[in-house]
Structure 1
Amino acid sequence: MSAEPKRLHVVFFPLMAAGHMIPIIDIAKLFASHHVKTTIVTTPLNAPTLTKALNTTTTTTTTTTINVEVIPFPHSNEADGIPQGIENFHKFNSNAMAFNFLKATTLLQQSLEQILEKHKPDCLVADVLLTFATDVAAKFNIPRLVFLPANCFSQCVTHSLIKYQPFKTVSSDNEEFLIPHLPHEVKLMKSQLPKMMRGDLDMDIVNTKWMEIFVQAMETESKSYGVIFNSFYELEPQYADYYRNVIGRKAWSIGPVSLCNRENEAKFQRGEDSCIDEHECLNWLNSKNPNSVVYICFGSLAQVSNSQLEEIAMGLEASEQDFIWVLSSSEKDDKIEEFEKRVQGKGLIIRGWAPQVLILDHQAIGAFVTHCGWNSTLEGLSCGVPMVTWPVFAEHFYIEKLVTQVLETGVGVGAKEWNRMVEGIKWEHIRDAIRKVMVGEEALELRSKAKKMKDLARKAVEVGGSSYCDLSSLIQELSSYNNATTYVRD
């Protein structure tokens, strides 16, 4: 009598940061919807974010339970410079502290190994910045898949910048250079690159350490089994092909993963506890006309100077558009409080965490002023919302080029300097960019192209769509990786 087939078991280990945890939770849900046994590993203070999101009914195809394993975060005497009670990347406002946090995550290796020893899974999906995961997976003779909270386009740009170093051909930081050998003509300025990418001789010790992490992440990525992208083929077909065929990496685009959250409750429960009631938010949006509201949010890591907050407020008021503006709880300014009272009814300010997908997916939203983080950008595209692009740091300036030049679903506000602090943009430029995506013929054209992206995104995740097929193919490949493990799909 033959033994009962063993169900495929995948362990997920996200970096403890909102922009990394949220998509991995959605990815785990997608694997579970294909009847894969799934386990997510995290630390005590991050566990509530996972359990809250997992307790919502988000799929109609499975009742598979996702297991959460909690491992201790290193104590303050082990983790250099990390205050007791802080276990999440976005709690830090300096590069030095963020680097120390990443260094501390390496102390989680032994705990991760204990989890793998306990569960004996078939695959480990770990964040790109958790570089030790490749060695851990090898120790247990299972494939390690890298989760990259980015897309194929930005990875192709990075590859070309590193290999050909075109920024060395310009004489000033504000002179444009062409990124060679890409399917489209993409230009950047040297000022839009991180210092560690530019090869500046005056790079400080923290940026030098970040460069070491970046190089190590690329090396472990190349040694891994492959990469999971939160993207979909129709969004960037030439770059998905370039990544696989020119760069030569195995990759699966299985997004937009946020679309696994179909009910309003599931959209509302993504991420941290929202600072606004779900019904209050929806009631406010329901009182507005379709495509009449501008949504402004800079993500969980960027910081906005007080002077820039005031410029944004003036630009919003001058644009004469209704708006929802998300501020971090630490961003406080007397003039903004006066502004909030003055625009009551026309504008809604949310201080802290906002239910972004719930907001973007509402018919009242007509534009998204975004920092061009990939999660936010893809959520905007998935909801058919044209964008005002305001890149800040990381790969944001690359993604801006994708939105404004390749997809043509947004316009830039004029940001030119790679810097974690949002500053330097005058209110007139903010007003003009908002009006360009909200009013007139160009706005209608941008909205039409954004709507097509939404339709393609929704088709990609349906049965038979490109992302659905990529996920199915990946699951099948993992199932046959070890001949002793047979996985029967429905």
Structure 2
Amino acid sequence: MVTVPFAPWVPGVAAAYNIPCALLWIEACGAFSVYYRYYMKTNTFPDNLEDLTQTVELPGLPLLEVGDLPSFLLPSAGSHLNNLMVDFVECLKNVKWVLVNTFYELESEIIDSMSELKPVMPIGPLVSPFLMGADQDKTLDNGDCMEWLDKQARSSVVYISFGSLLKSSVNQVESIATALKNRGISFLWVIRPKENAQNVSVLQEMVQRGQGVVIEWGPQERILSHVAISCFVTHCGWNSTIETVATGVPVVAYPSWIDQPLDARLLVDVFGMGVRMRDDAVDGELKVAEVERCIEAVTEGPAAEDMRRKAMELKNAARSALEPGGSSARNVDLFIAEINNQSTT
């Protein structure tokens, strides 16, 4: 039986019927490590998690602040989410395999650090086969945005998407749009219809002038793999993170909650393929100058070439991991072999 993290009752049912159980962890291995170490009390964490500036030192990870930890750990998340994670870690006693949507070369130190606690099996990246070199499905509707991208110069477009849950504020859209206008950069931006921020005047003017395109939804993997994309302004959800790694696109990391702040630390400080964009420390709003600083740093700053190089190295490593004999392919083979052994004993 294969289950997901947020159904912690499943492994217990499997154990009751003597059915081997695997867990598919759908966030970074780094996030799994933090949750496990916190709730199993294997490492020291600050007593007061309300102070977001306190530091946390964990194996395989850069020095973290409390604000970098998955938000479900924090008092602000509420007791119901905390209790859910307690139940999740407790259910691991009935889990034989922890399968993770990552690959060894991406999080090697973190993966190694879990070997003595709760070993994990990286089997990713779990992305569409065409990102790994397979032929694209020509029957899929790519949308008008792909035709527009085809007309843009190589590495000339900034792609912006903050996921399917959170709404961008008017301030955020105004600041990002104004920064793009000031620098004359083309953009492809996903903004859902229910977001009032899509009515920001500066954004509408830029779209009318042909500087960019706003879409309600887009085929993100195909967008990221397009040669016109120069960087990805992202909320750093793990699906988006693993997709940008698999396509070799540098990022401007602008996380909000759950695992996103930790993913941003990984992207910037471990993977070395982006910069962190932050709200103003005084009024909590996103400033135009900050957006300009980040986009310039990723696209043409002194470290931009190194970021692109590291992003391409990880793209190649992702492909290698899933090729026959690669690290993730071997883990999948091992998982299948162990299942077969279970069924014959």
TM-score normalized with structure 1 length: 0.64
Aligned counterparts of 1:467 and 1:424: Cα–Cα separation in 2: 41
Q: Of the candidates 141, 149, 154, which is equivalent to residue 26 of structure 2?
A: 149
Letter in 1 for 2:126: V
Q: Deviations over 1:214-245 (max 9, x none)?
A: 11111113321121111111111111111223
Deviation, structure 1 residue 477: 0.7
Q: Is the 8 A contact 1:306 1:331 kept in 2?
A: no
Aligned to 1:166: 45
Q: CA 1:260–1:226 in 2, change beyond 3 Å: closer, same or farther?
A: same
Q: Is the 8 A contact 2:252 2:274 kept in 1?
A: yes
The 5 Å alignment of 1:25-424 reads 124-162=1-39, 163=41, 164-168=43-47, 173=51, 175-177=53-55, 179-188=56-65, 190-193=66-69, 197-198=73-74, 200=75, 207-245=78-116, 248-261=117-130, 262-265=134-137, 278=142, 280-333=144-197, 335-336=199-200, 339-343=203-207, 344-351=209-216, 353-414=217-278, 424=285
Gaps of 5+ in 1: 1-123, 270-276, 418-422, 485-490
Q: CA 1:158–1:137 in 2, change beyond 3 Å: closer, same or farther?
A: closer
Q: Of the candidates 459, 464, 472, which is equivalent to residue 320 of structure 2?
A: 459
Aligned counterparts of 2:72 and 2:161: Cα–Cα separation in 1: 27
Aligned counterparts of 1:416 and 1:130: Cα–Cα separation in 2: 38
Aligned to 1:438: 299
Structure having the higher Rg? 1
Deviation, structure 1 residue 338: 5.2
Q: CA 1:469–1:431 in 2, change beyond 3 Å: closer, same or farther?
A: same
Partner SS state of residue 264, structure 1: coil
Partner SS state of residue 378, structure 1: helix
Aligned counterparts of 1:360 and 1:139: Cα–Cα separation in 2: 44
TM-score normalized with structure 2 length: 0.89
What is the aligned residue count?
337
Letter in 1 for 2:46: F
Letter in 1 for 2:275: V
Partner SS state of residue 147, structure 2: helix
Aligned to 1:85: none
Q: CA 1:196–1:404 in 2, change beyond 3 Å: closer, same or farther?
A: closer
Q: Is the 8 A contact 1:368 1:386 kept in 2?
A: yes
Letter in 2 for 1:166: F
Deviation, structure 1 residue 341: 3.7
CA-based RMSD of the aligned residues comes to: 2.5
Aligned counterparts of 1:404 and 1:448: Cα–Cα separation in 2: 14
Gaps of 5+ in 2: none
Percentage of matched positions with identical amino acids: 30
Letter in 2 for 1:132: W
Aligned to 2:339: 478
